[in-house]
Amino acid sequence: MHASSRQQPLPATAPEDALLPGLAAVPEVRSLLEAVDLPIGRWDAEGRLTFFNPPYVTWARRTPQALLGKSLKELYGEDAWTAARPAFERGFQGQQADYLRLLRHLDPPRWARIQVFPERGQDGRIDAIYTIAHDVHDDITNAMSLRRSNWLLEQALDNLPWGVIESNAELIITRWSRSAEAILGYTEAERLGTHRLAMGVPEEERARTMAIYARLLRGEIDNWVEQAQYIRKDRRRIWVEWTLSALRDEEGRVVSLLTFVRDVTHQVDTHARLLHHAERDALTGVLSRRAIMERLDTALSRRTRGDMLALYFIDLDGFKQINDRLGHVRGDRLLIQVAHAIQDVLRRDDAIGRLGGDEFVVLSAVADLSAAQALAAKLVEVSAAAGYDLLSGLRVTASIGVAAVPTHARSSFDLLQRADDAMYAAKNDGKNRWALCNQLLSSNLAPDRL
């Protein structure tokens, strides 16, 4: 406790030692009690103060005459006695005890921990108890502040729009916030004590996810952010964004993983729709000019030695005249029919894009030139079938030029130009047909760059 100054021994009334009770009557014990720099008091079986050392006088803020013979309730009030009573009772039962009390007689009030010790007489009975007061105000207020901070943190974490999940070094979940329950569908009771991969993570994602956790736990990375699919308790798949952080102890070892999670399904779906619209021709739904050219550049960059990539430049025969005669609505319908018919005969890895007007480009990986020509013939056939207008009896057909890498070109620009030239050759030969590029790369250009 805070004792501002050491009090002198209590004034004696003759003879002093004869008036002191119990152990306090023993001179050596009394000297020891008065030398201790902590407030010590002795309370008899009736709960009255019969002895106190000098620090107690300073601590109590009373005169010695005002203290002697008074009960704790009389000195400090009902609240003080309510706090002390259980410990006093255990003391008179022969047990050591302690309790916390806010000392309201001090200004400002301070917290103290009061220890209670029984005093046994020669006959073994408990004649009195001693109390020793320890100032623990800073410890208590710091602990209270920490508890409040933790409470505020818990409230904040539970009310964040992000879900909060924490797991230990064995990936066993130790925290699952209310927001996590709302986002992921599983309750705290269902997830606490379970492995992070026990629920929700799609089977095809488990190995990759576990590899990320392992890197975090080994300390190779401190954090990780990613978007991935999650299967809610109701079996609905959603897109979530995980932000994972490795938490370390004082020795730098990773002891837990803290995760913030939010539902990004709407953002992912919106982005996919925007990307689809950006990549797709608004009328026909096939790839846009920009998208098909990007696909061509990507295919060329990924081509390995010996692979052949064929490009088909398609121009519809007589479309302008039909469009002018039947109107744009009917003309657009024919464009859509032809585009969809071509797309239906392509393989999954092939691509079709509209360059504009009635011009299309098809990109296909083929085994050889014979396969490229076979596909060209099929495209001519389906274009003619789909280009028929039932009401007017008019038909559009397709003239198609074919060029391939590495036979005819190396770059996307050259490949497109060679296919375009071949397309004009098909038109000049009578339309509704295909033509293969007749410009072979010179042997000294090393056509297969890979």
Tell me whether residue 424 is in a domain. yes
Q: Which domain holds residue 122?
A: 16-139
Q: How far is CA 172 from CA 80, 168, 183, in A?
A: 46, 5, 19
pLDDT digits (tens, 9 = 90+) for 299-352: 998 888 788 999 999 999 999 888 888 888 888 999 999 999 999 999 989 999
Q: How far is CA 197 from CA 166, 171, 222, 261, in A?
A: 13, 8, 20, 15
Q: Where are the beta strands (DSSP E) in 194-252?
A: 223-231, 237-248
Q: Whole-structure pTM over 0.95, yes or no?
A: no
Taking the CA of residue 287 as centre, how many other CA atoms within 13 Å lie in the half-sphere pointing to its CB? 18
Q: How far apart (Å, rounded) are the C-alpha atoms in residues 375 and 312?
A: 9
Q: How far apart (Å, rounded) are the C-alpha atoms in residues 256 and 175?
A: 11
* Of 313, 303, 283, residue with least CA distance to 406: 303
pLDDT digits (tens, 9 = 90+) for 57-86: 988 998 999 999 999 999 999 999 999 999
Tell me whether residue 10 is in a domain. no
pLDDT digits (tens, 9 = 90+) for 365-421: 999 999 999 999 999 999 999 998 877 888 999 999 999 999 999 899 999 999 999
Tell me whether residue 146 is in a domain. no
Q: Angle at Cα 348 formed by Cα 439 and Cα 404, nearest 5°?
A: 5
Q: How far apart (Å, rounded) are the C-alpha atoms in residues 233 and 187?
A: 9
Q: Where are the beta strands (DSSP E) in 6-96?
A: 40-44, 49-52
Tell me whether residue 125 is in a domain. yes
Domain count, the chain: 3
- The runs of H, that is alpha helices, within 404-446 are 412-428
270, two tokens? 């919106």
What CATH number is attached to the domain comprising 45? 3.30.450.20
More confident residue, 157 or 216: 216
Of 139, 171, 186, the one marking the end of a domain is 139
Percentage above 90 pLDDT, the chain: 59
pLDDT digits (tens, 9 = 90+) for 153-200: 566 566 666 888 999 999 999 989 888 999 999 999 999 999 999 999
The answer, yes or no, to whether residue 56 has pLDDT greater than 90, is: yes
In this prediction, residue 157 carries a pLDDT of 61
What CATH number is attached to the domain comprising 308? 3.30.70.270
Tell me whether residue 6 is in a domain. no
Q: Angle at Cα 31 formed by Cα 27 and Cα 34, nearest 5°?
A: 135
Q: How far apart (Å, rounded) are the C-alpha atoms in residues 343 and 365?
A: 15
Q: How far apart (Å, rounded) are the C-alpha atoms in residues 391 and 395?
A: 11
In this prediction, residue 12 carries a pLDDT of 34
Q: How far is CA 148 from CA 110, 132, 139, 141, 154, in A?
A: 19, 29, 14, 10, 10
pLDDT digits (tens, 9 = 90+) for 259-293: 999 999 988 888 777 776 778 888 998 999 999 99
* Of 156, 118, 114, 116, residue with least CA distance to 136: 114
* Of 55, 57, 244, 45, residue with least CA distance to 162: 244
As a whole number, mean pLDDT of residues 33-41 equals 84
Of 247, 268, 289, the one marking the end of a domain is 268
Of 223, 239, 268, the one marking the end of a domain is 268
